[in-house]
Amino acid sequence: MMSLIVRSSAIHAAGVFTLQHIPCGTRIVEYTGERVKQELADGLYENRPHTYLFGVGDGSRVVDGYGIAMFVNHSCEPNCETEEDGDERIWVVAMRDIRPGEELAYDYLLYDGDDEAACSCGAPRCRGTMYSKPEVTRQKRRRRK
């Protein structure tokens, strides 16, 4: 079990920090929560400013996060990535060695939505949004029509 803590983050409100060295490739924490259909999740969070939903498989189902992994913030230059284990389990995995005290972050690569999803990661090469590059392109095309 990893030694992790949720505390104040410079990226966004609260974030997850490691208290120990994490080697590259380590499965750090599982993104846990109830699995629900995308349509149901959209209704549950329609008027809420934040969601903790994570699409699985073909995107027709999502995990409604409730564990510590829901506090892992987005970064355009992350130290972690997510990995699906079949259609059911999602892991936050170290992309490089991570030092004690470092905040964990992965690129959310959001793939649908109508809101701005502005990024506040502060990375030198921040793209300004949590949407994936293909989604940014799709949104630009849609706005031009």
Task: With residue 29 as reference, give the H or E element that holds it.
Answer: strand 27-30
pLDDT in tens, 51-61: 888 888 887 88
pLDDT in tens, 7-49: 999 999 999 999 999 999 999 999 999 999 988 888 888 888 7
Residues 6 or more apart from 92 whose CB is under 8 A from it? 27, 28, 29, 30, 31, 69, 72, 80, 81, 82, 104, 106
**What average pLDDT does the chain have?**
91
C-alpha to C-alpha distance for 131 and 4, rounded to whole angstroms: 27
Work out how many domains the chain is built from and give that number: 1
Query: Which pLDDT band holds residue 101 (cuts at 50, 70, 90)?
Result: very high
C-alpha to C-alpha distance for 20 and 26, rounded to whole angstroms: 12
Please, what is the end-to-end C-alpha distance for the chain in angstroms? 50
- % of the chain at pLDDT higher than 90: 58
| Domain range for 129 | 4-144
CATH of the domain at 44: 2.170.270.10
C-alpha to C-alpha distance for 64 and 48, rounded to whole angstroms: 14
Average pLDDT over residues 71-96: 93
- % of the chain at pLDDT higher than 70: 99
Name residue, tokens 């470092």: 102
What's the pLDDT at 8?
A: 97
Transcribe 76-133 into DSSP letters.
Answer: SS-SEEEEEETTTEEEEEESS-B-TTPBPEE---B---SS--B-----TT--SBSB-H
Task: With residue 141 as reference, give the H or E element that holds it.
Answer: helix 133-144
Q: Give the predicted TM-score (pTM) of the model.
A: 0.90
